[in-house]
Chain A
Amino acid sequence: MSFVGESGTISKATAGSEANPGDYIALLKPRVMSLVIFTAIAGLLLAPHGVNPVIGFASLLAIAVGAGASGALNMWYDADIDAIMSRTRKRPIPSGRVTGDEALAFGLTLSFLAVFTLGSVANWLAAALLAFTIFFYVVIYTMWLKRSTPQNIVIGGAAGAFPPIVAYAAATGDISLSSIVLFSIIFIWTPPHFWALALVKSADYAKAGIPMMPNVKGAAHTRLEILLYSLVLAPVGVLPWFLGFASMVYGGLAIALGAALLFLAARVYIVRTGDAADRCAKSLFGFSILYLFLLFAEIVIERSLSLGFELAARLGA
């Protein structure tokens, strides 16, 4: 990568870029980032005595930027397959708005900045966990698993599940059972969520040569695995109530949402042909997003209220 040519002028590729800030924001995968922020807020609020709002905000920002940086590095490495798939063809690198070198420099710079900011602002355990998350997503998932095994998103899903643990560590300097439970919910949620999409987009994945479950083991086996993971996810989703760090309201919500998820997963398993099968898979994909959102939203609301009452009691005393 060279920014300055032999004549001392800035090289054409860099100076002549038409990339605007929006293209760089797209490199950060804002939708994934918003999920990371949301799950990290839940992890942060699980801290027994709360956290200073400024430190909490800065930690969340560092975690979000770290997640975005790993997204940019993922797009840098996957530019070849992104150009083939309809879902990813318009991303900044395959569309030619940002070069691969620029994305690599952007991703690496933000990764270092995020890790060192989190270390300085919160603590170095959280920073180490964030660094490991970025490494896991970029090297273990993107560079290794994604193109080599149908278990890619099962193991790679850990990267997306780490934010609550990182955030809890930022607030407390420790790892707790409660943050591990949140990790488990996201980890077990990932396979049925992505395989529901893969069932619909299997031709796209096949064209790009990515060994997603439906392409390797077939749609029937994928439907069975979706059902099995959903059977595990439904009770794991109830664990926060069972272990006592969420209320009965959360428990009821988790049971109801888990039952709905199981119903949709069973429909995907039963309805196997035609447009109806695609519709069932799309319903499950959409509902899985709602499922995770509502569970974490309930935890965020409950913990915010609890910390609010605690603060009010302290001020009143």
Chain B
Amino acid sequence: MAGTEDPGVELTPQQLKSRRQRNIAIGLSVACFAVLIFLVTIAKLGPGVLNRPL
């Protein structure tokens, strides 16, 4: 069915730039949240969490 396919939404350069900025912001937020949860886990469990038999 080549030729009849919906080309989808064609974004303007400004829209592409904004989308990229939003994606970067979401990525950074998720990374910071993951780091925060890691630090909270260590704070709540204490350094003893690292002392475990391997």
Name A's B-contacting residues (CB within 8 A). Answer: 7, 9-12, 15-21, 24, 52, 54-55, 58, 61, 120-121
Contact = CB atoms under 8 A, between A and B. Distances in A.
A55 B9 contact: no
B9 A54 contact: no
Q: Which 6 A-B residue pairings sit nearest by Cβ, starting from the closest? A: A21-B25, A54-B43, A9-B8, A7-B6, A15-B9, A18-B18
B18 A19 contact: yes
Interface residues of B, number: 19
Given A19-B22, A21-B22, A9 B9 contact: yes
B44 interface: yes
A266 B30 CA distance: 50
Contacts of A11: 9
Nearest to A13: B9
Nearest to A22: B21
Interface string B11-26: 1101100110110110
Interface in B25-44: 25, 36, 39-40, 42-44
A24 B39 contact: no
A52 B46 CA distance: 11
Given A15-B11, A17-B18, A18-B14, 20 more contacts: A9-B6, A9-B8, A10-B8, A15-B15, A16-B11, A16-B12, A16-B15, A17-B19, A17-B22, A20-B21, A20-B22, A21-B25, A24-B22, A52-B43, A54-B39, A54-B40, A55-B43, A58-B39, A58-B40, A120-B40
A183 B6 CA distance: 57
Contact of A16 (B6, B9, B42): B9
A254 to B, nearest CB: 35
Nearest to A59: B40
B2 to A, nearest CB: 16
B8 A61 contact: no
Contacts of B14: 18
29 contacts: A7-B8, A9-B8, A10-B8, A10-B9, A11-B9, A12-B9, A15-B9, A16-B11, A16-B12, A16-B15, A17-B18, A17-B19, A17-B22, A18-B14, A18-B18, A19-B18, A20-B18, A20-B21, A21-B22, A21-B24, A24-B22, A24-B25, A52-B43, A54-B39, A55-B44, A58-B40, A61-B36, A120-B40, A121-B40
